[in-house]
């Protein structure tokens, strides 16, 4: 059957309250409510495959570990499993901490209340919770009762509950609390809800020291959250003896607004919230206690429960409920702190950079684009914040490289590398794992091995072909203004080449030396930063080169403990990319000049070695030349 074109005949809008003097919109939540976790009762009864006793106990331990002090553990009259589980918590020493209240639920029926109380016999702290649906819909369809009969049943059951709990001398060892739910409260006439609860309060006779709990559930969410807040404020302001009762909330999520309803209703006067971890429950579920707690936390209010290790909580919930926590579920979902969009990634990366530069601590205000909560506060790591797919820009891949390799890539290199990443994501039609991005970077910029270039050995010396200015009397010769000479052996495509070059510094000298082989690169950008601290510090070098006579540009990256050698490795990384990008690049490289060295260079090498045996310079090939050995020979002479 198709949807109705005019649904107004079948569905009637919920009528809001006339509450002209409402005060809750001007209130704020500045403290945590009393929490009741009902995963083991309300959550459990909604499962296709309810938990057994061991599963319930494991879940109970996790709730206690998180910090919940009031836990609805069972519906003892509904099943033997629930009854036995409650008895286990009561009877076995050490299972239930002394400050934890065990709550159990019963319908308004004396025989079921009796069995429910029996399950709690001997407990240190116990909350007996009974309920009676009070809405016109349920009174007419389910119970065939009018308002008066409903009220009388509520009072009768309350008096019976009192007689077998706080008034029973055999139960004197238990500290009792009583909770009453006008079930389907959100669909009950507000004045009748007040009338029933006044009668129940009178029957129980609470005190300010031991108040009664009135649970006001949105058993089925039927209206916008502001209407629920109005209903709560109406109840709070029309009931007498406000100090003698606690207003508890139990919002369901049929309209998807349970979180908002719970928050607005607290502003309206409620002091307690009942829900489940990640919102498990009948139909669309209960209000999510994790979201409520962490919403408070991100407003600077301690929720009095601890989700520092949210992954362990998720594990217990998923294994117990056999329902996965959705990837996009607030706070707990695996993707909620993840950015794929390039602009989002870039903003997050900049935010973390500002915090790092400022040496921010946990006591400093958290101001971060797109991240209302520091993932570390709930046991998540930063590596999972930015993930990369075909929609990601430069920031995502750069973030992964920064976190994995401690390399803070220059912006232009980020752009170039992002193209490599995007090509790979499109080829695979999926996002890339961090390890895959790292592997792409290491391969593209030859960090682990350079397939074409290898720096076998080298010397950087002062070029004394031009004499420096004569020294002042009594002082040493100052050579700082002299150029530097690179003399070394470079292996290219498995052939070793003896080369030399002169330049203002070591890097330009190597560039000049490569030029003698026909690899003519100009360094147009150079950046470096340190990696690590102390004696193990390394230098990361980034070099952007242009090919002479063309618009081609290539990046090279080098990492080494020695700053000079790191820059030389970076230039050779760029040279390798340059050769690979040229037409016919798979063909082995051969120098375009027949003689790579000048006569002066040949004489310098011969002078170091004492002979010219084994030095083939006409082809540029050098078999087994070791500069360190040659240098030592020269020093010995």
C-alpha 89/C-alpha 72 separation (Å) is 12
Stronger pLDDT, 235 or 479, i.e. the higher one: 235
**Of the given ranges (215-229, 322-336, 575-589), which has the lowest mean pLDDT?**
575-589
Residue 243 DSSP label: G
> How sure is the predictor about 388, in pLDDT bands with cuts at 50, 70 and 90?
low
- Mean pLDDT (the chain) is 87
Region for residue 461 given its phi and psi (left: phi exceeds 0; alpha: psi -120 to 50; beta: otherwise)? beta
Instruction: Say which residue the tokens 């009031």 belong to.
Output: 70
Question: Residue 543's pLDDT is what?
Answer: 94
Residue 249 backbone phi and psi in degrees, to 5: -110, 145
Question: Residue 612's pLDDT is what?
Answer: 43
> How sure is the predictor about 383, in pLDDT bands with cuts at 50, 70 and 90?
low
Average pLDDT score over residue span 178-201: 96
Question: Residue 594's pLDDT is what?
Answer: 38
Instruction: Say which residue the tokens 């508890």 belong to.
Output: 248
The fold of the 453-466+481-636 domain, in CATH, is Double Stranded RNA Binding Domain (3.30.160)
Query: Taking a C-beta distance cutoff of 8 angstroms, is the pair 305, 35 a contact?
Result: yes
C-alpha 153/C-alpha 565 separation (Å) is 88
Ordered DSSP codes for 519-585: --EEEEEEEEEEESSGGG-EEEEEEEEEETTSS-EEEEEEEESSHHHHHHHHHHHHHHHHHHHSTTT
149 pLDDT higher than 90: yes
Which residues, including other chains, have CB under 8 Å from residue 483's CB and lie 6 or more apart? 462, 463, 466, 502, 503, 504, 509
Average pLDDT score over residue span 597-617: 46
**Of the given ranges (80-89, 101-110, 228-237, 337-346), which has the lowest mean pLDDT?**
337-346
Query: Taking a C-beta distance cutoff of 8 angstroms, is the pair 497, 490 a contact?
Result: yes
Residues 277-324 pLDDT 10s: 999 999 999 999 999 999 999 999 999 999 999 999 999 999 999 999
Stronger pLDDT, 128 or 471, i.e. the higher one: 128
> How sure is the predictor about 384, in pLDDT bands with cuts at 50, 70 and 90?
low
Q: Percent of the chain, pLDDT > 90?
A: 61
212-218/245-251 β-pairing: parallel
Stronger pLDDT, 434 or 630, i.e. the higher one: 434
C-alpha 47/C-alpha 326 separation (Å) is 16
Question: Which residues are registered as beta bridge partners of 486?
Answer: 460, 501
Three-class secondary structure assignment of 316-334: HHHHHHCCCCCCCCCCCCC
Nearest to 64 by CA among 258, 268, 316: 316
Question: Residue 608's pLDDT is what?
Answer: 43
Stronger pLDDT, 129 or 623, i.e. the higher one: 129
Residues 418-442 pLDDT 10s: 889 888 888 888 888 888 989 999 9
At the fourth CATH level, which superfamily is domain 32-321?
Aldolase class I (3.20.20.70)
219 pLDDT higher than 60: yes
Residues 511-532 pLDDT 10s: 999 988 888 888 889 999 999 8
**pTM surpassing 0.85?**
no
Q: Coil, strand or helix: which one is 135?
A: coil
Question: Residue 96's pLDDT is what?
Answer: 97
**Of the given ranges (94-98, 238-242, 448-452, 552-556), which has the lowest mean pLDDT?**
448-452
Residues 133-143 pLDDT 10s: 999 998 999 88
Question: Residue 599's pLDDT is what?
Answer: 52
C-alpha 130/C-alpha 179 separation (Å) is 6
Instruction: Say which residue the tokens 């198709």 belong to.
Output: 2
581 pLDDT higher than 80: no
Q: How many CB atoms lie within 10 A of CB 241?
A: 14
Average pLDDT score over residue span 400-427: 89
**Of the given ranges (47-61, 203-217, 552-566, 600-614), which has the lowest mean pLDDT?**
600-614
Question: Which residues are registered as beta bridge partners of 275?
Answer: 37
Query: Taking a C-beta distance cutoff of 8 angstroms, is the pair 289, 72 a contact?
Result: no
* Per-domain residue ranges of the chain: 32-321, 342-443, 453-466+481-636
Three-class secondary structure assignment of 487-518: EEEEEECCEEEEEEEEECCHHHHHHHHHHCCC
Question: Residue 243's pLDDT is what?
Answer: 97
Question: Residue 551's pLDDT is what?
Answer: 79
2 pLDDT higher than 70: yes
Residues 287-299 pLDDT 10s: 999 999 999 999 9
601 pLDDT higher than 80: no
404 pLDDT higher than 90: no
Taking CA atoms, 99 is separated from 125, 126, 273, 302, in Å, by: 8, 11, 18, 19
Question: Residue 211's pLDDT is what?
Answer: 98
Ordered DSSP codes for 152-214: HHHHHHHHHHHHTTTT-GGGTTSEEEEEEEEESGGGS-HHHHHHHHHHHHHHH---SSS-EEE
> How sure is the predictor about 637, in pLDDT bands with cuts at 50, 70 and 90?
very low
272-275/34-37 β-pairing: parallel
C-alpha 442/C-alpha 58 separation (Å) is 45
Q: How many CA atoms lie within 13 A of 309 on its CB side?
A: 9
Nearest to 514 by CA among 489, 537, 534: 489
What CATH number is given for 342-443 in this structure? 1.10.287.1400
533 pLDDT higher than 90: no
582 pLDDT higher than 90: no
Question: Residue 547's pLDDT is what?
Answer: 84
Residues 337-374 pLDDT 10s: 877 777 887 888 889 889 989 999 989 999 999 899 99
Question: Residue 394's pLDDT is what?
Answer: 67
Average pLDDT score over residue span 440-459: 88
Average pLDDT score over residue span 184-211: 97
> How sure is the predictor about 616, in pLDDT bands with cuts at 50, 70 and 90?
very low
Residues 113-127 pLDDT 10s: 999 999 999 999 999
């Amino acid at each position: 059957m198709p949807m109705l074109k005019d649904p107004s005949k079948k569905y009637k809008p919920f009528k809001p309250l006339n509450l002209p003097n409402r005060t809750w919109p001007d209130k704020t939540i500045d403290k945590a409510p009393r929490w009741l976790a009902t995963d083991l009762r309300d959550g459990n009864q909604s499962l296709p495959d309810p938990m057994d006793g061991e599963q319930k106990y494991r879940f109970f331990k996790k709730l206690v570990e998180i910090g919940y002090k009031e836990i609805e553990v069972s519906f003892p009259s509904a099943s033997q499993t629930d009854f036995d589980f409650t008895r286990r918590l009561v009877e076995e020493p050490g299972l239930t901490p002394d400050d934890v209240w065990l709550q159990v639920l019963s319908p308004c029926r004396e025989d079921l209340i009796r069995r429910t109380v029996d399950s709690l016999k001997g407990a240190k702290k116990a909350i007996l919770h009974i309920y009676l649906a009070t809405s016109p819909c349920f009174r007419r369809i389910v119970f065939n009762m009018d308002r008066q009969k409903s009220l009388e049943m509520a009072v009768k059951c309350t008096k019976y509950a009192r007689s077998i709990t706080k008034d029973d001398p055999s139960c004197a060892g238990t500290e009792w609390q009583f909770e009453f739910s006008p079930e389907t409260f959100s669909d009950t006439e507000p004045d009748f809800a007040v009338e029933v609860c006044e009668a129940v309060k009178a029957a129980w006779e609470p005190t300010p020291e031991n108040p009664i709990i009135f649970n006001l559930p949105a058993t089925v969410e039927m209206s916008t959250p502001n209407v629920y807040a109005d209903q709560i404020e109406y109840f709070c302001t029309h009931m007498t003896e406000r100090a003698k009762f606690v207003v508890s909330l139990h919002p369901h999520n049929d309209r998807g607004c349970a979180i908002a309803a719970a928050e607005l209703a607290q502003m309206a006067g409620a002091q307690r919230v009942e829900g489940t971890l990640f919102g498990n429950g009948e139909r669309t579920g209960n209000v999510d206690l994790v979201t409520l707690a962490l919403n408070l936390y991100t407003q600077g209010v301690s929720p009095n429960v601890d989700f520092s290790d949210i992954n362990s909580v998720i594990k217990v919930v998923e294994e117990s409920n056999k329902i996965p926590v959705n990837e996009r579920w607030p706070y707990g979902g695996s993707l909620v702190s993840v950015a794929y969009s390039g602009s989002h990634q870039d903003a997050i990366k900049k935010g973390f950079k500002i915090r790092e530069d400022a040496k921010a601590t946990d006591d400093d205000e958290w101001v971060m684009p797109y991240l209302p909560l520091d993932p570390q506060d709930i046991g998540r790591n930063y590596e999972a914040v930015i993930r990369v797919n075909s929609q990601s820009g430069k920031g995502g891949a750069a973030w992964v490289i920064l976190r994995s390799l401690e390399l803070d890539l220059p912006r232009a290199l980020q752009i170039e590398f992002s193209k490599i990443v995007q090509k790979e994501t499109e080829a695979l039609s999926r996002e890339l794992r961090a390890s895959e991005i790292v592997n792409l970077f290491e391969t593209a910029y030859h960090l682990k091995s350079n397939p074409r270039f290898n720096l076998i050995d080298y010397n950087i010396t002062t070029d004394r072909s031009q004499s420096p200015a004569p020294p002042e009397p009594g002082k040493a010769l100052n050579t700082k203004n002299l150029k530097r000479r690179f003399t070394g052996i470079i292996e290219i495509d498995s052939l070793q080449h003896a080369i030399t070059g002169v330049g203002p510094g070591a890097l330009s000298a190597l560039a000049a030396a490569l030029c003698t082989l026909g690899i003519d690169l100009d360094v147009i950008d150079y950046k470096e930063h340190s990696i690590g601290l102390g004696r193990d510090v390394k230098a990361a070098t980034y070099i952007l080169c242009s090919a002479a006579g063309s618009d081609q540009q290539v990046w090279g990256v080098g990492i080494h403990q020695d700053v000079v050698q790191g820059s030389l490795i970076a230039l050779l990384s760029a040279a390798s990319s340059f050769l690979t990008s040229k037409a016919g690049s798979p063909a082995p490289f051969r120098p375009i000049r027949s003689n790579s060295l000048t006569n002066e260079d040949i004489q310098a090498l011969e002078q170091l070695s004492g002979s010219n045996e084994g030095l083939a310079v006409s082809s540029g090939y050098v078999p087994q030349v070791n500069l360190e050995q040659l240098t030592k020979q020269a020093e010995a002479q």
